[in-house]
Structure 1
């Protein structure tokens, strides 16, 4: 059994909410509070949310976390 970790990021838009909602629908759980920061290179706000998931497999760096 392994606990997997992902940090989901996106511009502050509905796309971010959909990305987090999709992860939750696939069994990922929220980990901590979301973060919100200004990206001066794009002149836009960005959001981040950590998620974790317990899986019945040994961790490997080759895992495709988005497919778990």
Structure 2
């Protein structure tokens, strides 16, 4: 099955570490990163989609962060 995750975080090094951790667990980048201003906090937020192919069948109970 092919898994999809959207990683998000404030525009800090924490976002880069989150994406780096996913890449080191075998996830692959999917598309370009996105940036948006969060008017409620006044900060920029980042998003990056990642995908990974793993054995098995998808169910809504699949724990994406465990792969």
TM value normalised by structure 1 = 0.97
Aligned length: 67
- Provide runs of 4+ in structure 1 moved above 2 Å: none
Report the aligned-residue RMSD: 0.4
Structure-2 residue corresponding to 1:63: 62
Deviations 1:11-38 (A, max 9, x none): 0000000000000000000000000010
Q: Where does structure 1 lack aligned partners over 5 or more consecutive residues? A: none
TM value normalised by structure 2 = 0.98
| Distance (whole Å) between structure 2 residues aligned to residue 19 and residue 63 of structure 1 | 20
| Distance (whole Å) between structure 2 residues aligned to residue 44 and residue 57 of structure 1 | 39
Q: Where does structure 2 lack aligned partners over 5 or more consecutive residues? A: none
Structure-1 residue corresponding to 2:43: 44
| Distance (whole Å) between structure 2 residues aligned to residue 16 and residue 57 of structure 1 | 29
